[in-house]
């Protein structure tokens, strides 16, 4: 900068003109004053625009009064469809020929998973009745697929009990129980849903996979093995793989002290009535009809 300034001074002297040292500084001050004035003018225009602009619409954070609140529609909550769907009519027919089961109330509960897996549960007796209560579930994979690996024993038992409306109070260590369907894991546990009962939970099997629990005065591994040995397939419902698995199980089943070898042709279906000579069921009279409106007398 200094070299350029001396060069400019030399040009002015050569031309015979006078060099004014204050001229550049005055030009800089003029430019600064011009820029400052421009910025001030722009700021004034912005303030004026804000002053004359209409106010933004108010945002309603909530209802203005109770009428506005009542006029709003209720939110609609949509739950995802359940993974399991109950079947009104089971596709297969199972039977159980075992000591201590005849005459107990029984039912066959079947359901299908949205992935194609199926479960068929035979239920004998009532949990709250105090007598023998058996739940025996047969697990089937989706066609062309394999069953999912089982969870931990306690987790699987807790989930199955919760689905049946029961809770596990205490549980013990599982032991191996040999049956015609393969080795089962069985562990003592205490189930409750008001009544508290000592039971024996089980799962496993080399062919068809089984699970469930036995609640009885004699809930022992030996008694459990006898009950499982009596499970037979009366109608496979078109499931050739299941029929073949039961055939292999029957052929490999060793004679035991529970009962004579089971003949599927002589075993009654789970939906059959009580055996001959059993006491007739007690019919509880229906309660009187309720009044048609509150406060009306019958």
Looking at residue 282, its pLDDT comes to 37
Q: What is the 8-class DSSP label of residue 21?
A: T
CA-atom Rg of the chain in angstroms: 43
| Mean pLDDT computed over 130-140 | 94
**pTM > 0.85: yes or no:** no
Per the document, the length of the chain is 298
- Phi/psi of residue 236, nearest 5 degrees: -75, -10
- DSSP 8-state secondary structure symbol assigned to residue 54: P
* 262: three-class secondary structure by DSSP: coil
**pLDDT at residue 130 above 50?**
yes
Residue 253 burial by Cβ neighbours in a 10 Å radius (0-12, 13-18, 19+): middle
Beta bridge partners of 108: 122
First-last CA distance in the chain: 115
- Quick check: 263 pLDDT over 50? no
CA distance 189 to 173: 9
Rounded-to-integer distance, Cα 51 and Cα 208, Å:
82
The residue to which tokens 């049956």 are assigned: 179
CA atoms of 127 and 141, how far apart (whole Å): 28
- Asked if 117 and 147 touch (Cβ cutoff 8 Å), the reply is yes
In this predicted structure, what is the pLDDT of residue 20? 54
30 pLDDT higher than 60? yes
153 phi/psi in degrees, rounded to 5: -55, -50
* Burial of residue 235 (number of CB atoms within 10 Å: 0-12, 13-18, 19+): middle
Residue 283, pLDDT score: 36
Q: Is the pLDDT of residue 162 over 90?
A: yes
DSSP 143: T
Q: What is the mean pLDDT of the chain?
A: 76
Pairing of strands 133-140, 118-124: antiparallel
Q: How confident is the model at residue 287 (pLDDT cuts 50, 70, 90)?
A: very low
Burial class, 87, CB count within 10 angstroms (exposed 0-12 / middle 13-18 / buried 19+):
middle
Compute CA 21 distance to the chain's CA centroid, rounded to the nearest angstrom: 89
Q: How far apart (Å, rounded) are the C-alpha atoms in residues 236 and 139?
A: 13
Element (H, E) at 139: strand 133-140
Nearest 5°: phi and psi at 271? Answer: -90, 0
pLDDT for 68-126, tens place per residue? 767 777 777 777 778 889 999 999 999 998 888 888 999 999 999 998 899 999 999 99
Mean pLDDT score, 15-29: 55
Average pLDDT over residues 207-226: 92
pLDDT of 240 above 50: yes
What is the pLDDT at residue 251?
A: 74
What integer pLDDT is reported at residue 268 of this predicted model?
43
């Amino acid at each position: 900068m200094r070299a350029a300034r001396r060069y400019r001074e030399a040009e002015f002297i050569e031309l015979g003109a006078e060099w004014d040292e204050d001229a550049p500084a005055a030009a800089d001050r003029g430019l600064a004053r011009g820029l400052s004035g421009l910025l001030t003018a722009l700021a004034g225009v912005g303030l004026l625009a804000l002053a004359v602009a209409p106010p933004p619409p108010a945002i309603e954070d909530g209802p203005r009064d109770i009428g506005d609140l009542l006029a709003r529609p209720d939110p609609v909550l949509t739950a995802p469809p359940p993974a399991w769907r109950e079947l009104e009519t089971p596709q297969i027919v199972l039977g159980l020929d075992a000591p201590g089961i005849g005459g107990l109330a029984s039912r066959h509960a079947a359901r299908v998973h949205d992935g194609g897996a199926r479960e068929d549960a035979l239920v004998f007796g009532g949990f709250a009745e105090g007598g023998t209560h058996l739940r025996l579930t047969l697990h089937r994979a989706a066609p062309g697929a394999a069953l999912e690996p089982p969870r931990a024993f306690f987790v699987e038992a807790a989930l199955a009990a919760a689905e049946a409306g029961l809770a596990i109070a205490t549980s013990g260590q599982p032991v191996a129980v040999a049956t015609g369907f393969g080795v089962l894991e069985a562990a003592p546990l205490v189930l409750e849903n008001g009544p508290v009962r000592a039971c024996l939970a089980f799962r496993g099997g080399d062919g068809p996979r089984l699970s469930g629990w036995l609640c009885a005065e004699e809930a022992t591994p030996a008694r459990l093995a006898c009950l499982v040995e009596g499970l037979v397939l009366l109608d496979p419902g078109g499931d050739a793989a299941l029929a073949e698995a039961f055939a292999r199980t029957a052929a490999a089943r060793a004679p035991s002290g529970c009962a004579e070898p089971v003949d599927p042709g002589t075993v009654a279906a789970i939906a059959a009535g009580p055996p001959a000579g059993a006491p007739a069921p007690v019919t509880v009279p229906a309660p009187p009809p309720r009044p048609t409106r509150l406060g009306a007398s019958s």
